[in-house]
Amino acid sequence: MVIGLLAFVFYFIYDLNEITLQNKILQKFFFLGTLILCLGTLWMGFCSEAFVWIWLVPAIFFFGLLIYTLFFALPFEATYVDPAIGRKVYSGGIYGVCRHPGFWWLLFAYVCLGMACGSEMMRFGLFCSFLNLLYIGFQDMVIFPRIFVDYGDYKRKVPFLIPRRKHNAISR
């Protein structure tokens, strides 16, 4: 559990740095948090006494969706590289369905890993998913309104977590 907590502390520090210090070293904390979370998850998996292989397939599928959602569904340069003032929200594709679709992919991946590896992994995954919910709530209320000039409009048009089929989000 400490590993998951440490990973999300790194995520929080990374985001706070984005709106305050913009320190080059702290800009690496998103990567470090992700590395810690991945290594902790792998460690939990390797330490499990029983393993049900069939659950590994959907877990990999959901982790794949998470990677796609965070790094490929968004225009990379505008989202992760160019921190210029006046950035606008990307509301196309999956980000027009709900504001934080990656929450679901992480939760479903950890539930599948929990089914594959047992109760310790399930507890770890649910704990990390809860921390993720706190993290995206923090992003939604504090970080993103300061980073994106049009986040208020985006919040009014696209639901927080519960996806909807049809959207009328603002597109960029």
Q: Please write the tens of the pLDDT for every residue from 18-59.
A: 999 999 999 999 999 999 999 999 999 888 887 899 999 999
3 Cβ partners below 8 Å, 6+ apart? 36, 37, 39, 40, 43
Instruction: Report the Cα–Cα distance between both ends of the chain, in Å, rounded.
Output: 39
Query: What pLDDT is recorded for position 50?
Result: 79
Average pLDDT, integer, range 86-93: 88
**Plot region of 156 (φ>0 → left; ψ -120 to 50 → alpha; else → beta):** alpha
Average pLDDT, integer, range 143-169: 87
Average pLDDT, integer, range 95-116: 97
CA–CA separation, 139 and 32 (whole Å): 18
Instruction: Of 57-66, 87-96, 100-109, 160-169, give the lowest mean pLDDT range.
Output: 160-169
CA–CA separation, 129 and 1 (whole Å): 12
> Given a cut of 60, is residue 64 above it in pLDDT?
yes
Local structure of 43: helix, strand or coil? helix
pTM over 0.95: no
